[in-house]
Amino acid sequence: MTTPEPAPSGAIYDLGYQGYEGPRLGRLYALWSLYLLSLRNAFGIGRGALPKVLAFGLVVFAFTPAVVTLIVGAVVPADDFEIFAPRDYYGIIQFILVIFVAAIASDLVGNDRRSRTLALYFSRPIERDDYALAKIAALSSSLLALTVLPQVVMFAGNALGAANGLDWMRDNVDDVPRFVASGLILCVTFGAVGILVASYAERRAFALISVVAIFFVSLTVVGIIISEIDSDQVRWSLFLSPLHVIDGSTAYIFDAIPQVDEFSRNGEPINQVAWADFPGYIWPLASLAWAALASAIVVRRFRGSI
């Protein structure tokens, strides 16, 4: 752009105001910046001490099963020794994931509203839809550190610890695409649902409780309905519980949906999923449907007045 030499405009004082002439990086760059900022905020980087302790504390909890497996694997000299198998991993740390989602989602969405920076974002090239999706993407990506990362560490550690690392790798290499795929589906679903619930709560405290309640109350209520109400129609209620759906998705991807027996109905969520006897591929699809629906509602939410 060529600007004509600005005429001297200061009547008495020249305050030195200048127009910006550098490159305009545009909407995509703004989106990328917002994503990176949110991702940093998720782990408390650039914030106080407590958010860091909280986020990394939960990461440590999520790594516990992997670390335990590696330590025991190093002590016990058997090759096929597994305490926590990759297919069970996400189910074991589910509670930690939900707390992490609640804590981070309420921060990511709530802080901008509380400190009134939301209006500033929307006055920049960033669109409202971009904002909503950047937040979901940031939460989902931060979840990778609690899901896929411990699996990778566990896999690498087991391979290095095995008597014949290459053989072990050859036997177990199938697990890698499986835990990556199921982990990605889990992260996207958790991220979208978390941001959805948090974006509707006005106070941060309430956002926290609501996210936790949505996951756990639906898990418990659907679990009780399935096991106690004697009707085959109740199997459809499984789709209302995101944790059931994600369990089913992970089990299907690992080809590990358990056998149905007479106790399945009263058992763990995954046994209830098996009891419902839907075709297995429906679980990853249902999980992605949850993610898509939640994202759509979040986008709608931020288009309205905040």
Partner 1 sequence: MTRTLLMLTAHQLLGQRRAIVIALLALIPIVITLLYRLAGDTEGAYGFTVDMVGGFVFTLLLPIGALVFGTAALGSEVEDGTIVYLLARPIARWRIVVAKAVVASLATMVLTVPATLIMVLIALEGLGSDSLWLAAVVAGIAGSIVYSTLFVGLSTITGRALIIGLVYVFVWEAFITSLFDGTRWISVRQYVFGISDALTSAPEVTASLDGSQALIASAIVVAVSLLVGVRFLKRFEIGEQS
Residues in contact with partner 1 by CB under 8 A are 48, 50, 54, 57-58, 61, 93, 95-96, 98-99, 102-103, 205-206, 208-210, 212-213, 216-217, 220-221, 223-225, 227-231
Residue 305: CB minimum distance to partner 1, A: 18
The CA distances from residue 266 to 229, 236, 253, in Å, are 11, 16, 23
Integer Cα distance of 168 and 299 in angstroms: 45
Residue nearer to partner 1 on the CB measure, 92 or 120: 92
Residue nearer to partner 1 on the CB measure, 150 or 223: 223
Residue (of 158, 168, 186) closest to 242 by Cα position: 186
Instruction: Count the helices and strands in the chain (H runs, E runs).
Output: 13, 0
How would you class 25 by CB atoms within 10 Å of its CB: exposed for 0-12, middle for 13-18, buried for 19 or more?
A: exposed
Residue 209: CB minimum distance to partner 1, A: 6
Residue 77: count other Cβ atoms within 10 Å of its Cβ.
9
Residue nearer to partner 1 on the CB measure, 53 or 78: 53
Residue 53: CB minimum distance to partner 1, A: 10
Residue 276: CB minimum distance to partner 1, A: 17
- Rounded to 10°, the helix 269-276/242-253 angle is 80
Integer Cα distance of 289 and 295 in angstroms: 10
Can you give the length of the chain in residues? 306
Residue nearer to partner 1 on the CB measure, 133 or 198: 198
Residue nearer to partner 1 on the CB measure, 98 or 294: 98
User: Is the Cβ–Cβ distance between 275 and 226 less than 8 Å?
Assistant: yes
Residue 261: count other Cβ atoms within 10 Å of its Cβ.
11
Residue 230: CB minimum distance to partner 1, A: 4
48 DSSP 8-state letter: -
Residue 77: CB minimum distance to partner 1, A: 24
37 φ, ψ (degrees, to nearest 5)? -60, -45
Residue 44: CB minimum distance to partner 1, A: 12
Residue nearer to partner 1 on the CB measure, 240 or 296: 240
Residue nearer to partner 1 on the CB measure, 58 or 246: 58
